[in-house]
Amino acid sequence: MLYNITRDYISLGNSRSGQRLENVEFIVSHDTGNPGSSAYANRNYFENADPFASAHTFIDDDIILEIIPLTEKAWHVRNSVTADNQRFGADANAAAIGVELAWGGSINFEEAYNRYVWYHAYLLDKYNLDADRHIVAHSTLDPTRRTDPQNALNRYGISWNEFISDVKRARQKYFDGQEVTEPVIKGESVDLPLSKGDEGTFIQEIQRDLIRAGFSLPVYGADGIFGAETQRAVMRFQEAYNLQIDGLVGPITLNKLKEVVGSSNPLSDFPLPDGILRKGDEGPEVARVQRALKAIGYDPTYIDGIYGELTENAVRRFQSSYAKLANDGIYGPNTREYMELELDNL
């Protein structure tokens, strides 16, 4: 095969139930939504934090990583949405493979994209599916909350139709009339808790998430080394979110950090600030607004506490959905009121 496929399955738990996926009827294309987060960083998050969510495969510029067997269900689309049932006559979690594209940060997009395209072609060949009919974007199934994978693809000038065309060409080139061998098995897992002295790419991902959450690492940054600066940032984070302050990144701390960065429940965990915020403002109040915007489907791209042009545009997009709001890109009491209404419906 052009690329090896690595199997390093997470343990049974919330993220991997072990329930059998009887028939693969379609493929759901995702992106990770967390710039710079590698395939293994995502694998280790699902292994150690064990949330009620998952996907089968994560792909970056170095690896195609299956973390859940393709013969088992993964929880990659909300059960409460019905577009999958209307379109395919089946629930995505029970009938589809979920494929995630890692992007941004230090990830070489071209290399990651080539693997992403090839793997989709591999799945089409494996399950005798058609690219036009059996590949669907996560955003199509859950349009009120999700923008992936176009969120990643469009940043690099690739439309959804161009992606599908690339997959078709890859299938013709690499699979039509060719025998496909079985994937290889390889393990490179990370165990929690992580502590001072640990090193590696997963440490770097945690450091980046700490920075995005507003806990700066001004001297060494995201260098992949769990030193005293990172330990202090972890302790400040734990103190801020009423966790045990031990400087260790265990399952509870990791899960909360991913919640803060990913904004899984922003209304209760991150109450929207009062007052007025606009382009040029900085601080934790801006980060709260950014997390809320991401949660309700108006991705500001970065949760960095900086009210820049991308955040202003995200606020404008949200405001344009309501006739009573001025489309000025400024966060104020009226915008806050309508954002809270949407957050209440999550």
Task: Please report which confidence band the pLDDT of residue 184 belongs to, taking 50, 70 and 90 as the band edges.
Answer: very low
Residues 231, 302: one domain?
Answer: no
Which structural domain, as residue segments, surrounds residue 299?
266-344
Q: Which of 80, 101, 86, 89 is nearest to 28 (CA)?
A: 101
Task: Please report which confidence band the pLDDT of residue 344 belongs to, taking 50, 70 and 90 as the band edges.
Answer: low
Single residue among 134, 155, 185 that ends a domain in this structure: 185
Asked if residue 299 has pLDDT above 90, the reply is no
Helix, coil or strand: residue 40: helix
pLDDT tens track for 111-146: 999 999 999 999 999 999 999 999 999 999 998 888
Question: Is 258 a member of any domain?
Answer: no
Question: Is 190 a member of any domain?
Answer: no
Strands 57-59 and 96-101: parallel
**Do 337 and 327 contact (CB within 8 A), yes or no?**
no
**CB-side exposure of 213: number of CA atoms within 13 Å?**
28
Task: Please report which confidence band the pLDDT of residue 207 belongs to, taking 50, 70 and 90 as the band edges.
Answer: confident
What is the average pLDDT across 161-175? 88
More confident residue, 307 or 221: 307
**Do 201 and 40 contact (CB within 8 A), yes or no?**
yes
Q: Which of 43, 40, 52, 56 is nearest to 15 (CA)?
A: 52
Question: Is 259 a member of any domain?
Answer: no
Task: Please report which confidence band the pLDDT of residue 187 belongs to, taking 50, 70 and 90 as the band edges.
Answer: very low
Helix, coil or strand: residue 323: coil
Domain of 272, CATH number, reads 1.10.101.10
Asked if residue 181 has pLDDT above 60, the reply is no
Rounded CA-CA distance 105/36 in Å is 4
For 100, phi and psi rounded to 5 degrees?
-110, 135
Residues 33, 124: one domain?
Answer: yes
Residues 27, 109: one domain?
Answer: yes
Question: Is 260 a member of any domain?
Answer: no
Q: Which of 5-9, 21-25, 250-254, 309-313 bottoms out in mean pLDDT, i.e. has the lowest?
A: 250-254
Write down the pLDDT at residue 65.
Answer: 96
Write down the pLDDT at residue 264.
Answer: 39
Single residue among 133, 158, 185 that ends a domain in this structure: 185
Q: Which two tokens stand for residue 198?
A: 């640990």
Residues 174, 245: one domain?
Answer: no
Write down the pLDDT at residue 260.
Answer: 79
Residues 27, 165: one domain?
Answer: yes
Residues 69, 127: one domain?
Answer: yes
Question: Is 233 a member of any domain?
Answer: yes
**Do 243 and 252 contact (CB within 8 A), yes or no?**
yes
Task: Report the Cα 339 to chain-centroid distance in Å.
Answer: 22
Asked if residue 186 has pLDDT above 80, the reply is no
What is the average pLDDT across 165-182? 76
Task: Please report which confidence band the pLDDT of residue 33 belongs to, taking 50, 70 and 90 as the band edges.
Answer: confident
Rounded alpha-carbon distances, angstroms, from residue 88 to 20, 82, 127: 19, 10, 15
pLDDT tens track for 227-282: 988 998 899 888 888 889 999 998 889 888 887 776 434 344 456 888 999 999 98
Q: How many domains in the chain?
A: 3
**Do 67 and 57 contact (CB within 8 A), yes or no?**
yes
DSSP single-letter state for residue 49: H
More confident residue, 119 or 204: 119
Residues 131, 46: one domain?
Answer: yes
Write down the pLDDT at residue 72.
Answer: 96
pLDDT tens track for 307-338: 999 899 999 988 887 888 899 999 999 999 88
Q: 3-state DSSP helix/strand/coil percent for the chain, to nearest 5?
A: 40, 10, 50
Q: What is the mean pLDDT of the chain?
A: 86
Task: Please report which confidence band the pLDDT of residue 1 belongs to, taking 50, 70 and 90 as the band edges.
Answer: low
Rounded alpha-carbon distances, angstroms, from residue 24 to 21, 70, 76, 190, 205: 7, 9, 14, 30, 32
**Do 196 and 227 contact (CB within 8 A), yes or no?**
yes
DSSP single-letter state for residue 164: H
Question: Is 236 a member of any domain?
Answer: yes
Rounded CA-CA distance 140/92 in Å is 12
Question: Is 123 a member of any domain?
Answer: yes
Residues 130, 80: one domain?
Answer: yes
Rounded CA-CA distance 255/176 in Å is 43
Helix extents (H) in 227-280 = 228-240, 251-262, 266-269
Write down the pLDDT at residue 190.
Answer: 67
Residues 162, 115: one domain?
Answer: yes
Write down the pLDDT at residue 265.
Answer: 42
Residues 106, 136: one domain?
Answer: yes
Residues 229, 271: one domain?
Answer: no
Residues 244, 287: one domain?
Answer: no
Write down the pLDDT at residue 79.
Answer: 87
Query: Quick one: what percent of the chain has pLDDT higher than 70?
Result: 91
Question: Is 261 a member of any domain?
Answer: no
Rounded CA-CA distance 202/190 in Å is 8
Write down the pLDDT at residue 311.
Answer: 92
Single residue among 158, 185, 212 that ends a domain in this structure: 185
Rounded CA-CA distance 304/211 in Å is 7
